[in-house]
């Protein structure tokens, strides 16, 4: 069907009828008569008009595939995995074939690729949805007032809360942010605005290496560093902050550098041309222009490190009571709290396991809030850069 040549009626496409007000036969302009014959052109036929499947066609294809798989299940026995995989694969193949038969190969390819992408997206989303569902379902059991007002001091069995861990998470992460943001932003300014040659290249390389440091190594580094000054076995909140900074700094450097890079040079030049020195150009023109992106990057870096467990396990330790001084003794936090509650629940185990799930839920909520905050900040302060 698609191979038949396109109809071309010479009467319709001819030069004479293209001009509706063509001169009557007796007074034809000489140029038109003497015009050389049009060169013959060739190209594959292109159909502009055609049949399109209705909008519900993909759904029908998948439903048909599901029905078919049910019938197959009746014969060989039902299994969820086989049913889902079979439905998705058969739905895609069926849809492609149907579309190819009715709409032609180009639209069929389009539908096939669209279907594949949607299926891949759904596949990627499945663990996330499952995880959220599990955490919310199990975490809601102890998502009560006591959880946010009590610590675990003297609590055995039921009850108890995680206020000490929530404080710990906020304090440790806050200190880590205080350490990382100035260092990270200033490093990024150096790399993007000042650095040249070998020093810049090597710094960039080491920042990349730092991005890949396993978090436990960061924890061991902080532990070893503080052991030098305080002796072995020391535990402090600030040690955790230092360990987290090691993880956070490269993320802040990378995102800030990227944001500074997209600030157009024309703005820097405009500022220089007004006789503004370089450092003021950076602080008053470049940084404000990139501010939204930088803040977003920082917030996302916080969200990335707030759930770290391993480095905090060895640097801040496990404790059951509230400690708000990061320079004095052990300090719990939500990730370690969840880990230790689940690992050694005691007897009976259920209350402790419930608390672990709730701690995980609270942690996820904090990360969600941070992500939303990042988006809002970007919308509020983000600058349109052309």
Partner 1 sequence: MTALAEVAAKTVRISDLNLYYGTFLAVKDVNVTIQPNKVTALIGSSGCGKSTFLRSLNRMHELVLGAYVTGEVLLDDVDIYGAGTDPVAVRRQVGMVFQAPNPFPTMSIYDNVAAGLKLNSRRMKRADMDEIVERSLRGAHLWDEVKDRLGKPGMGLSGGQQQRLCIARATAVEPDVLLMDEPASALDPISTLAIEDLIGELKKEYTIVIVTHNMQQASRSSDMTAFFNIEGTGKPGRLVEIDTTEKIFSNPSKQETEDYVSGRFG
Contact footprint for partner 1 (CB under 8 A): 196, 264, 266-267, 269-277, 280-281, 284-285, 288-289, 291, 383-385
- Write out the two tokens for 48: 């502009």
Q: Nearest Cα to 333, choosing from 348, 314, 318? A: 318
In angstroms, the CA 271 to CA 235 distance is: 49
Nearer of residues 134 and 383 to partner 1, judged by Cβ: 383
Compute the least distance from the CB of residue 297 to partner 1, in Å: 18
**100-104 long-range CB contacts below 8 Å, 24 or more apart?**
102/51, 102/53, 103/50, 103/51, 103/52, 103/53, 104/2, 104/47, 104/50
Nearer of residues 85 and 262 to partner 1, judged by Cβ: 262
Compute the least distance from the CB of residue 323 to partner 1, in Å: 42
Residues in the chain: 386
Question: 306: helix, coil or strand?
Answer: coil
Four-point Cα dihedral 144, 148, 153, 155, nearest 10: 0
Nearer of residues 54 and 277 to partner 1, judged by Cβ: 277
Nearer of residues 13 and 283 to partner 1, judged by Cβ: 283
Tell me whether the omega of the peptide bond preceding residue 348 falls within 30 degrees of 0, making it cis. Answer: yes
Q: At what angle do helices 287-305 and 237-261 cross, to 10 degrees?
A: 140
Nearer of residues 270 and 372 to partner 1, judged by Cβ: 270
Nearer of residues 221 and 378 to partner 1, judged by Cβ: 378
Compute the least distance from the CB of residue 259 to partner 1, in Å: 13
Nearer of residues 47 and 261 to partner 1, judged by Cβ: 261
Q: Are 312 and 168 in contact (CB under 8 A)?
A: no
Q: Are 113 and 136 in contact (CB under 8 A)?
A: no
Compute the least distance from the CB of residue 96 to partner 1, in Å: 47
Nearer of residues 117 and 270 to partner 1, judged by Cβ: 270
Contacts of 193 (CB under 8 A, 6+ apart): 260, 278, 282, 286
Q: Nearest Cα to 217, choosing from 324, 315, 319, 97? A: 315
Give first-to-last CA distance, the chain, whole Å. Answer: 48
Compute the least distance from the CB of residue 197 to partner 1, in Å: 10
Compute the least distance from the CB of residue 280 to partner 1, in Å: 5
**How many C-beta atoms lie closer than 10 Å to residue 320's C-beta?**
16
Compute the least distance from the CB of residue 199 to partner 1, in Å: 14
**How many C-beta atoms lie closer than 10 Å to residue 112's C-beta?**
17
Compute the least distance from the CB of residue 298 to partner 1, in Å: 18
Q: Are 187 and 200 in contact (CB under 8 A)?
A: no
Nearer of residues 21 and 266 to partner 1, judged by Cβ: 266
Compute the least distance from the CB of residue 278 to partner 1, in Å: 8
């Amino acid at each position: 069907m698609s191979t038949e040549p396109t109809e071309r009626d010479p009467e319709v496409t001819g030069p004479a009828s293209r001009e509706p007000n063509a001169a009557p036969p007796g007074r034809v302009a000489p140029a038109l008569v003497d015009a050389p014959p049009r060169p013959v052109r060739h190209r594959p036929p292109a159909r502009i008009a055609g049949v399109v499947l209705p909008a519900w066609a993909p759904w029908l294809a998948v439903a048909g595939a599901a029905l078919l798989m049910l019938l197959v299940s009746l014969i060989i026995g039902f299994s969820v995995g086989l049913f889902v995989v079979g439905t998705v694969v058969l739905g895609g193949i069926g849809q492609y074939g149907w579309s190819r038969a009715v709409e032609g190969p180009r639209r069929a390819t389009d539908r096939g690729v669209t279907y594949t992408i949607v299926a891949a997206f759904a596949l990627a989303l499945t663990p996330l949805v499952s995880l959220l569902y599990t955490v919310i379902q199990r975490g809601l059991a102890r998502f009560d007032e006591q959880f946010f007002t009590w610590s675990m001091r003297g609590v055995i069995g039921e009850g108890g809360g995680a206020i000490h861990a929530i404080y710990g998470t906020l304090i440790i992460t806050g200190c880590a942010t205080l350490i990382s943001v100035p260092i990270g932003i200033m490093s990024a300014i150096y790399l993007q605005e000042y650095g040249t040659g070998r020093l810049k290249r090597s710094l960039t390389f080491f920042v990349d290496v730092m991005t890949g440091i396993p978090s436990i190594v960061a924890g061991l580094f902080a532990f070893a560093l503080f052991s030098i000054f305080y002796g072995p076995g020391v535990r402090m909140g600030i040690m955790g902050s230092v360990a987290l900074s090691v993880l956070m700094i490269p993320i802040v450097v990378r995102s800030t550098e990227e944001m500074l890079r997209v600030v157009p040079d024309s703005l820097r030049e405009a500022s220089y041309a007004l006789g503004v020195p370089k450092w003021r150009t950076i602080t008053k023109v470049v940084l404000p222009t990139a501010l939204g992106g930088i803040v977003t990057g920082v917030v996302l870096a916080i969200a990335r490190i707030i759930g770290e467990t391993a480095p905090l396990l060895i640097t801040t330790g496990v404790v059951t009571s509230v400690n708000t001084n990061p320079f004095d003794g052990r300090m719990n936090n939500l990730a370690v709290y969840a880990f230790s509650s689940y690992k050694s629940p005691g007897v009976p185990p259920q209350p402790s396991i419930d608390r672990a799930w709730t701690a995980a839920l609270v942690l996820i909520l904090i990360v969600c809030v941070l992500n939303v905050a990042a988006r809002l900040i970007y919308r509020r302060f983000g600058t349109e850069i052309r």
